[in-house]
Amino acid sequence: MKRDFNVIIEKDEEGFYIASVPELRGCHTQAKSLDELMIRIHEAIELCIEAQNMQFSKLDFIGMQRITVG
């Protein structure tokens, strides 16, 4: 069964790209390039689905908002 997931991608201070999947608890990975990140997050999603026995929350992506505090 094919399923679409929203992936949030960020870049840290050291230049690593970090991907996380809000629908799958604990599903995240990092890589030095975006190409490698896409390969790794695809693998991570498959592993998370397998580990969670296909139980995940259906979340509709609304958008992103940057908030400055302090």
Domain CATH for 38: 3.30.160.250
Cα–Cα distance for residue pair 67/40, rounded to 1 Å: 29
Say what the pTM is. Answer: 0.80
Structural domain contains residue 45: yes
Give the position of tokens 């908002």.
65
Note the pLDDT of residue 56.
Answer: 66
pLDDT at residue 17 in the model: 97
pLDDT of 67: 82
How many CB atoms neighbour CB 48 within 10 A? 19
In a domain, 35, yes or no: yes
Strand ranges across the sheet with 28-31: 8-11, 17-20, 28-31
Q: How high is the mean pLDDT in each 10-residue block of the chain (70 residues)?
A: 89 96 93 97 94 74 84
Within a domain: residue 21? yes
- pLDDT of the residue at 15: 96
* Cα–Cα distance measured from residue 21 to residue 19, given in angstroms and rounded to the nearest whole number: 7
The contacts of residue 56 (CB under 8 Å, 6+ apart) are 23, 24, 48, 49
Range of the structural domain that residue 15 is part of: 8-51
Identify whether 56 is part of a domain. no
